[in-house]
Amino acid sequence: MISQVEVTKEIEDFARGITGKGSELSKNIGRKILSVTKKIELPNEEEKKMRWKRTATQILKDGWVVKGKSCTDITVLFIAVAKAKGIKAIFVKLYSIKRQMLHAAVELPGENSILDATTGRRDNSSNEILFDEYKVYKKGRDSWDIGLSGVEDMPSVMEEIGKKIDADKSAKPIIAHK
């Protein structure tokens, strides 16, 4: 498999019962995903071994995501299911401008919004700051497409984000929307 969001028979079967149009359909996809994925605790070392490594089909079959670290898995699964329903969805990795952390979300071009698949929150603004805290790090098909295939990728990612933050500080300030 070369993509985390490949639409397999398991993904198609899961998507079949989800109905709606537009934003209602994307809400229903999110609800169904959250209803079938249990949030579990894993020791830090175990979580690091599997971070950014599973495909949507594996996540669906496993039926769990790691509590507090589930955003990429939920987003990957959401995108695969959206693809199965004919929705164009783009993987978006965000970085916090307030804290040193990453977050994953879904861009829904037809709906002109960014969706946090873990919470169902949408950001429809054209502001550079999303959800009052995040900026876009990279966009792509999935986390593998943007160069995140394991926790070993984290140091180079954080270095790149540090450069973006430094560049932002030298640019004119952005007023966050409320």
Query: What's the confidence (pLDDT) of residue 63?
Result: 97
Contact 161, 137 (CB under 8 A): yes
Instruction: Supply the pTM of this predicted model.
Output: 0.90
Whole-angstrom distance, CA of residue 155 vs CA of residue 103: 16
Average pLDDT over residues 149-170: 85
Helix (H) or strand (E) holding 95: strand 90-96
Q: How many helices (H) and strands (E) does the chain have?
A: 6, 7
| Sequence-ordered list of residues with C-beta below 8 angstroms from that of 158, at least 6 positions apart, any chain | 100
What domains are there in the chain, each with its CATH number?
Answer: 9-170 (3.10.620.30)
Question: How sure is the predictor about 1, in pLDDT bands with cuts at 50, 70 and 90?
Answer: low
pLDDT of residue 172: 53
- Only one residue has tokens 């599997």, namely 50
Res. 173: pLDDT tops 90: no
pLDDT of 176 reads 40
pLDDT of residue 15: 98
* Average pLDDT taken over every residue of the chain: 90
121-129: Cβ within 8 A, 24+ apart:
122/23, 125/177, 127/174, 127/175, 127/176, 127/177, 128/174, 129/97, 129/174, 129/176, 129/177
> pLDDT digit string (tens) for 48-90?
999 999 999 999 999 999 998 999 999 999 999 999 999 999 9
